[in-house]
Amino acid sequence: MAGTRLTAEREGELYAAVLDLLREVGYDALTMDAVASRTRSSKATLYRQWGSKPELVARALRHSKPVSTADVDTGTLRGDFHALVERSDDCQLERDSALMRGLAQAVHQNPDLHQALRELLVAPELTGLDGLLRRAVDRGEIPAGTPALRYVPHMILGAFVARELIEDRSPDRAFLADYVDAVVLPALGVA
């Protein structure tokens, strides 16, 4: 079967298995052997298709979380943020949070993984968020040059991390919706 492309369905199954393993054992303990065994594939196939573990993990992450900001455009900044919150679900938020935890140390120790993550996952999200904010500036909702504009990703990440570390709970939609109204919009000068 050398040279055969995986079907999209099979590829999706593989990515899901990689993320399950990542949540269970963390990045360092995730081996290509474990992925091969869990998915009943050969290591040769994994390496041929993805080249390396960081690339496989980054692809799996990207597959699980398509850029969701692109088609949100409700006409107000508050509407856009709340539409983003509403389209997520609590179970997915909890799983995303587990992934972030498992990767925090790994991305620092693995420049390849960090690079792959930035290109595949972080950069598209930031671009989507950027578009959403730029429209709000264009509409006059946010004064151009508002200092908090460059820190919106920081505020949002903080909501996820502190919810875990301080409150010992997973972020859910009700919490995120409240955080948007209490922190993100006021920091941007939007009432």
Q: How far apart are CA 191 and CA 153, in angstroms?
A: 19
Pick out residues in 40-99 that bind a copy of itself (CB under 8 A). Answer: 98
Residues 6 or more apart from 88 whose CB is under 8 A from it?
A: 68, 173, 176
- 150 belongs to the binding site for a copy of itself (CB under 8 A): yes
Query: Shortest distance, CB of residue 67 to a copy of itself, whole angstroms?
Result: 16
- 169 belongs to the binding site for a copy of itself (CB under 8 A): no
Pick out residues in 105-124 that bind a copy of itself (CB under 8 A). Answer: 105, 107-108, 114, 118, 122
Q: How far apart are CA 113 and CA 53, in angstroms?
A: 8
Find out whether 183 and 155 touch, Cβ atoms under 8 Å: yes
Q: Between 67 and 155, whose beta carbon lies closer to a copy of itself?
A: 155
Q: How far apart are CA 103 and CA 101, in angstroms?
A: 5
Q: Between 12 and 124, whose beta carbon lies closer to a copy of itself?
A: 124
Q: How far apart are CA 53 and CA 114, in angstroms?
A: 12
Pick out residues in 22-41 that bind a copy of itself (CB under 8 A). Answer: 26
Find out whether 27 and 103 touch, Cβ atoms under 8 Å: yes
Tokens of 128: 């989507």
- 128 belongs to the binding site for a copy of itself (CB under 8 A): no
Query: Shortest distance, CB of residue 8 to a copy of itself, whole angstroms?
Result: 30
Q: Between 20 and 73, whose beta carbon lies closer to a copy of itself?
A: 20
Q: Between 108 and 134, whose beta carbon lies closer to a copy of itself?
A: 108
For residue 84, the SS3 value is helix
Q: How far apart are CA 131 and CA 111, in angstroms?
A: 28
Applying CB under 8 A, which residues contact a copy of itself?
Answer: 26, 98, 101-102, 104-105, 107-108, 114, 118, 122, 126, 147-148, 150-151, 153-159, 161-166, 168, 178-179, 181-183, 186-189
